[in-house]
Amino acid sequence: MSLDYNSLLLAVGFSAACLSLTLFGTWLTARTDKFLLTWAISALLVVCDIFTYDAYIDTPGRILGMATFALLLVSFSMMLGASYQFRSGGSPIPRILIGSGISLAVALPPMALGYDGLGFMFENLFAALLLFATATEYWKGRAEAPALTIGAAALYSATALSFLLCAAVLAWDGKLILGHAPSNWAEDLSLVVVIASMTGIGALSLALNQGRLARHHRRNALTDPLTGLLNRRALFDLFGDSPVGAFTAVVVFDLDSFKAINDEFGHATGDEVLRVFARELACNLRPADIAARMGGEEFALVLKRTLPETVENTAEAIRTSFAARRVETEAGSLTCTVSAGYAFGSKEGLSFDKVLSAADKALYAAKRGGRNRVSPFRRAS
């Protein structure tokens, strides 16, 4: 092996080490993102493989050869598992075990029996297959961040092609026994591709993670943590700047005597009542409807492209269904009721704030009328 090849090998090890440290450091700041740890370990295994392979170059032997095969194929299996974990949130272990098990079962026996040339063919082939599978995971998840995920898929595919080329050159030479590490133009090219791809993959992986964290923080800022519904800010972000037309309605719900529930049964029971009502609200939504918790025991529902009878029926269905629900507490079960008021926009278009205010007035009318009822807002003629 030439000095140039050893220098390239060292560069791969350095890139992998930097990537592993960066991913591990990022994981330490966000422990819930477990795929970062899987990625970090896979990159660390690549570093170990580089050192082992360098030793094999100097002193070829079956044990070192098998060790370098195992480290490379397990590390690539872990990359596959990490990509699946990132995309789906599922456990990476099945893919790691399947990828490692099949590839090692095929690649290790030839090396153990002295057919190192055949072993290197299989190692490169399965490395390529694992990298293509990893690229496929990114491709499947491209809807999340198209430019970044497609870029990662392209880099993994390019790396896979370089390993596939190494396998093809070895197969073309047809030497089942080499007695030393492969040395050809495909190996040199593969190292160059790995260095460039690893740098790009590291940058894209971190960018993908940062983008996901930013979306997660924004989603938390716009979501009510107790009920999982949108919060008041999110509702105004959606509708605050748009005029509300004549076929869009806003319904405001307020749980009746909620303070008394908190006082008598405690805030934990009150929170459960709010969650029960939120689920009731969500169960009665059409795909285009938007529900939000405005604060306290007040909720809002926005219905687009609807008619008064539809709004009335929806609000009544929510009211009656909630009234029939029983909430279990340590002191026994309890039932709750809710009042609602609704208002429509106009042909000319009213501000969302005005329509919401009108629905509030209708809600107060329902409260004054005895609670546990639905009232429409009636504009003065």
Angle value at C-alpha 207, between 201 and 211, nearest 5 degrees: 145
Residues 273, 322: Cα–Cα separation, whole Å: 10
Tell me: the pLDDT tens digits for 58-86? 899 999 999 999 999 999 999 999 999 98
SS (H, E, C) the chain: CCHHHHHHHHHHHHHHHHHHHHHHHHHHHCCCCHHHHHHHHHHHHHHHHHHHHHHHHHCCCHHHHHHHHHHHHHHHHHHHHHHHHHHHCCCCHHHHHHHHHHHHHHHHHHHHCCCHHHHHHHHHHHHHHHHHHHHHHHHHCCCCCHHHHHHHHHHHHHHHHHHHHHHHHHHHHCCCCCCCCCCCHHHHHHHHHHHHHHHHHHHHHHHHHHHHHHHHHHHHHCECCCCCCEEHHHHHHHHCCCCECCCCEEEEEEECCHHHHHHHHCHHHHHHHHHHHHHHHHHCCCCCCEEEEEECCEEEEEECCCCHHHHHHHHHHHHHHHHHCCEEECCEEECCCEEEEEEECCCCCECHHHHHHHHHHHHHHHHHCCCCCEEECCCCC
- C-alpha distances in angstroms, 28 versus 21, 24, 71, 376? 11, 6, 24, 53
Does residue 342 fall inside a structural domain? Answer: yes
Q: Domains in the chain: how many in total?
A: 2
Report the pLDDT value the prediction gives residue 1, as an integer from 0 to 100.
46
CA 373 to mean position of chain CA atoms: 41
Tell me: the pLDDT tens digits for 10-23? 777 777 787 778 77
Residues 85, 225: Cα–Cα separation, whole Å: 25
What confidence tier does 379 reach under pLDDT thresholds 50, 70, 90?
A: low
Rg (CA), the chain: 31
Residues 278, 275: Cα–Cα separation, whole Å: 5
Domain hosting 184: range is: 3-221
Comparison of pLDDT for 252 and 262, the residue scoring more: 252
Residues 139, 188: Cα–Cα separation, whole Å: 28
Same domain, 183 and 290: no
Instruction: Quote the mean pLDDT of the chain.
Output: 88
Q: Is the pLDDT of residue 227 over 60?
A: yes
Same domain, 210 and 112: yes
What confidence tier does 33 reach under pLDDT thresholds 50, 70, 90?
A: confident
Same domain, 187 and 275: no
Same domain, 119 and 99: yes
Report the pLDDT value the prediction gives residue 2, as an integer from 0 to 100.
45
Same domain, 135 and 250: no
Report the pLDDT value the prediction gives residue 365, as an integer from 0 to 100.
92
Residue 140 · residue 87 · CB < 8 Å: yes
Same domain, 97 and 58: yes
221, 256, 281 — which closes off a domain? 221
Q: Can you give the CATH number for the domain in which 67 is found?
A: 1.20.1070.10
Position 190: which residue type? S
Report the pLDDT value the prediction gives residue 18, as an integer from 0 to 100.
78
Residue 366 · residue 375 · CB < 8 Å: yes
Same domain, 198 and 259: no
Residues 135, 374: Cα–Cα separation, whole Å: 54
Query: Measured between alpha carbons, how far apart are the two ends of the chain, in Å?
Result: 93
What confidence tier does 4 reach under pLDDT thresholds 50, 70, 90?
A: low
Report the pLDDT value the prediction gives residue 358, as an integer from 0 to 100.
93
Does residue 61 fall inside a structural domain? Answer: yes
Q: Can you give the CATH number for the domain in which 292 is found?
A: 3.30.70.270
